[in-house]
A and B are shown apart, each in its own frame.
Chain A
Amino acid sequence: DTEVTQTPKHLVMGMTNKKSLKCEQHMGHRAMYWYKQKAKKPPELMFVYSYEKLSINESVPSRFSPECPNSSLLNLHLHALQPEDSALYLCASSRTGGYSSTDTQYFGPGTRLTVL
């Protein structure tokens, strides 16, 4: 089973709202990732958690706040977003976080976020 689940599938929020995106995997993977994908563009890495610790933050604005409560769950807390933050937010997981040369990232279905 290579399933990564994400909720919600769609989210519409105002610029003053606070919301959260959720990602879950039960493959025993120890690395989890958040990507942002704009239309007709490739995914761009935002954050990497490896063994529940934040290991990469790609200079993401503080209005995006990741959280990894345990090895199966990854959240992305959103606050005071801008309309240009509207995008598809993808979660991925991999077995070891890249410490193995045969590690592969498996993606969830994404959350389509619209900021009004």
Chain B
Amino acid sequence: EDKVVQSPLSLVVHEGDTVTLNCSYEVTNFRSLLWYKQEKKAPTFLFMLTSSGIEKKSGRLSSILDKKELSSILNITATQTGDSAIYLCAVEFNAGGTSYGKLTFGQGTILTVHP
């Protein structure tokens, strides 16, 4: 069974700290790994990592895919209170046919940044 596991489940830090969130997966045919940030409502897209794009960076956020270890990390440097959210990792599997476009989400990491 395809599985996506995130750790830690929750994390409390102070502004200015650096955090590393982890995502590991067990799949049969990996296609891509996505990171989303979810605050009150909809998940907002952060990064997509694929075999041809294993490292992404945007401002204080960066992410790396380790295809050998079947995992990814999301780094946030110089955290701010606005970074407080649930960070979701999702993996898309290539099972062919109608399974295209199917994301399996991890359970999420709740990040709380205190002033």
Contacts and interface: CB of A to CB of B under 8 A. Distances in A.
Interface string A26-49: 000001010000000111110010
Interface string B65-102: 00000000000000000000000101010000011111
B31 A101 contact: yes
Contacts of B12: none
A106 B46 CA distance: 10
A42 B101 contact: no
A109 B43 CA distance: 8
A42 B50 contact: no
A101 B32 CA distance: 7
A63 B84 CA distance: 36
Interface string B35-58: 010000111110010111000000
B10 to A, nearest CB: 10
Contacts of B52: 101
A11 to B, nearest CB: 14
Nearest to A58: B102
B41 A97 contact: no
Interface residues of A, number: 29
B51 to A, nearest CB: 8
Interface in A1-41: 2, 4, 31, 33, 41
Contacts of A42: 88, 90, 105-108
A97 B103 contact: no
Interface of B: 31-32, 34, 36, 41-45, 48, 50-52, 88, 90, 92, 98-103, 105-108
Interface of A: 2, 4, 31, 33, 41-45, 48, 50, 55-56, 88, 90, 94, 97-99, 101-110
Given A98-B102, A107-B43, 20 more contacts: A33-B101, A48-B101, A56-B99, A56-B102, A88-B41, A90-B42, A97-B101, A98-B100, A101-B50, A103-B32, A103-B101, A104-B34, A105-B101, A107-B36, A107-B42, A107-B44, A108-B42, A109-B41, A109-B42, A110-B41
